[in-house]
Structures are given as C-alpha cells and as structure tokens.
Amino acid sequence: MPEFATLASPYSMPAALHGDVDLTDPEEQTQTRALNQFLAGVELKAFKIAQAALRHEDDALDAVQDAMLQLARAYSDRPPAEWKPLFYRILENRIRDMQRRRTVRGRVMAWLPVRNDEDDDDYDPVAQAPSPEPQPVRRLEIDEAVGALEQALQQLPHRQRQAFLLRALEGLDVAATAQAMGCSEGSVKTHYFRAVQALRGQLGELYL
Amino acid sequence: MSAVNESDTEFERNARRVLEESVRRIDARTRSRLNQARHAALEAAATRRRGWFGRLTLMPAAGAVAAAVLVAVVLWQREPVGKPPVGPEAQRAAVEDMDLLTDNDSIDLMEGWDGSFYEWAAAQSDAGTESHS
C-alpha cells in the first residue's frame, strides 16, 4: 500500500541515541532498549485508544504519559512479554480516573459562569506542518473512512470500544485483552462481537 | 498475540486498515509529546534501577552496623553469670551480716585484730578447763 507510506520510523534507532539516559551498564542498556522499543511500539496506538475514550487530545496524551511512567516505575523489571497487557490495564485505569474526574468537574462547572476558551488556542506551526500524504482524491476517501469509523467508535459503549480497539488496532489476543480489561475472556468475546455488529450496522461494509 | 487471523471478516480487516491509517496520521506535535513522555518513562525506570543498585551496594555496610548494634544490645541486656543465693542459707548469712554491721564492738574488734593474743587467750582458757577437770 504505497499510498500509506509515511515518515520513516524514528524508533528504529538505538536507544542510546534517544536521550540522556545513562547506559553504561550493559544489563541496564538491554533493559532500557527493550523498554524503549516496547513503548515506541505502543505509544501511538495507545494514544488513539485513549483519544477515542476521552475525546480530548491533551487528556489522551496525559493518560498515555501516566501509563508509561507507571509501567516504567512499577513493572519495568517484569518480563517484556507481560508489558503489553499491563500497560493497557494501567492506561484503562487512568482513562477511567480521568472520566470520573471529568464528570465531577462537569457538575461543578455547571454552576459557574461560562468562560470562552477560544482565545487560548495558540497557532502551532508544528501541528500544522504538512506531512507526506496521498493524492487529493484518494486522501478524501481515506479521510471519510477514518472520520466515519472514529465517529462510529464514539457511539459505542466504552467496554465494546475498548475490546474492539485492543483486538483490532493493538492486535491483542482474547486472553491478553481480558487481562488488560480486567474481565473474563468470555466477556471480551461478547464485547468484541457486539462492537463489530454495531459498527457494521452503522458503517455498512467499510472499504479503504 | 495478534488478532489477525483467517476468521476475520472483510469488515474487520478493512476496519483494521482504517485504524492503522488513523494512527499514521497522528500529527508531529503529538508524536513529539509522546516521544518526550517515553523518555521521561525511560529515565524513571533507570532512576529506579539505580536506586536498587545503590541500596544493594550499601547492604554490607548496613549489615555490619546492624550486627554491631545487635551485639551491643545483647551484651547490655545479658544477665550476670550465676544466680543470687536464695533459701535459708542465704537468709542466715544475711542476718549475720546485719549483726556485724549493727554491732559497734564487733567492728572495733575487727579493726584492732590481734591474732596472737586471742590464740594465747584461747589456749589459756582450754588449759584452765582441763586443770579443773
């Protein structure tokens, strides 16, 4: 699919070149490299999952950042095979916390005068920078498909959306999804099946 | 661990492609922030490991200090060797000691002890007793 070609991945470079982490100890170097590789592999998908749940870019970034930190602090000594379900479990807990806090804040803010935040949005040239994209017509088709799917995902109940994204986007199997969601494998299958049915009902056959 | 398998329907495969495309479209600003977050996490993990390593290197010194404190506490709390005398013998000895302490004459006698005189007096007393008999 050449039309989907994008920037070369910056995550293939050695971990030692990424930042200021001291990598003098070979064992630490190996662990740091493995953790870096894992986080680089999940961060973008995790952001999309958090964004779909929270519907707010900054909140999603905060949730992913918190999940990364907690995984690094509490579970980095675990075998790397365990990291993915743990990471998504942490992320899910963080998303729930933020949703809960947002509900409380919404109740409080309902009593306060409305404030216009539009003036706070500064122009960000980096965010507006052009990226390699397909031709305009094809791009329009992709835009429509992505927009339709994202909108349909937002209509789903939280657990169905979570099961669908963990399975379809992150590629977790049923057992790992159940571990990440904190429920049984049977529940995962049910949530995923219902999510697919609902999406198909809304989108028809999806083509890209 | 991948969910990609033969049983996926066409819809699921297309949905996956659309989702992957939406990930590719994440803007540079968000990627940069995620990159920073990842480095912060790596630094946190490294700090944690260094903390553990530091604690491990301090372990022998801490063990030596703990052992010294333990020995000191044991010696401090240790009971004296042997037990104080108890029973009738001990009570009788205590009464004799009290007599010696409270009797001024006895103490004076002890201070001016003349062994040869008392030995001679005792011999004279014994000799007198024998002559009377």
Average pLDDT value for residue range A146-169: 93
> Would you tell me which CATH number, out of the four given (1.10.10.10, 1.50.10.10, 1.10.3720.10, 1.10.10.1150), belongs to the domain A134-208?
1.10.10.10
Q: Is residue A203 over pLDDT 70?
A: yes
Question: Model confidence over B34-48: pLDDT tens digits?
Answer: 999 999 999 998 887
Average pLDDT of chain A is 81
Q: Which of A77-91, A152-166, B84-98 has the lowest mean pLDDT?
A: B84-98
Mean pLDDT computed over A150-164: 93
Q: Is the pTM of this model over 0.90?
A: no
What would the mean pLDDT of A199-203 be, rounded to a whole number?
89
Query: What pLDDT, in 10s, does the model give residues A54-95?
Result: 989 999 999 999 999 999 999 988 999 999 999 999 999 999
A156 touches chain B (CB under 8 A): no
ipTM above 0.85, yes or no: no
> For B40, which of A69, A76, A168 is closest by C-beta distance?
A69
Establish if B86 touches chain A: CB-CB under 8 angstroms.
no
Instruction: Give dist(CA B28, CA A126) in Å, integer.
Output: 6
pLDDT of residue A135: 66
User: pLDDT: is B22 or A15 the higher one?
Assistant: B22
List all residues of chain B from 15 to 34 with a beta carbon under 8 Å from chain A. Answer: 15-34
Say yes or no for a CB contact (<8 Å) between A21 and B39.
yes
Question: Nearest CA to A45 among B37, B18, B38, B20?
Answer: B20
Q: What percentage of chain A carries pLDDT values higher than 70?
A: 73
The tokens describing B59, both together, are 């372990």
- 3-state DSSP call for residue B51? helix
* Mutation to test the A interface, candidates B22, B25, B43, B50, most A Cβ within 10 Å: B22
A27 pLDDT higher than 90: no
Chain-chain contact of B41 with A45 (C-beta, under 8 angstroms): no
Contact B28 A126 (CB under 8 A): yes
**For residue A129, what pLDDT is reported?**
62
| In chain A, where the domains are located | 21-113, 134-208
Give exposure, B52-76, as e/b (b: 16+ Cβ within 10 Å): eeeeeeeeeeeeeeeeeeeeeeeee
pLDDT digits (tens, 9 = 90+) for A93-131: 999 999 998 888 777 766 666 555 444 555 666 656 655
Is the pLDDT assigned to residue A41 strictly greater than 80? yes
B98 vs B105, residue with greater confidence: B98
CB neighbours of residue A34 within 10 Å: 15
CB pairs under 8 A between A and B: 150
* Contact residues, chain B, for A122 at CB < 8 Å: none
Answer for the pair A36, B38: CB distance below 8 angstroms, yes or no: yes
* Chain B positions in Cβ-Cβ contact with residue A56 (cut-off 8 Å): none
- Give me the pLDDT at residue B34, please: 96
CA distance A132 to A3: 9
pLDDT above 70 for A53: yes
φ/ψ (deg, to 5) at A83: -65, -40
On whether any CB of chain A is under 8 Å from the CB of B56, the answer is no
Testing the interface with A: which of B4, B29, B42 to mutate, by most A Cβ within 10 A? B42
Site from A48, A128, A133, A154 to mutate, B interface, most B CB atoms within 10 angstroms: A48
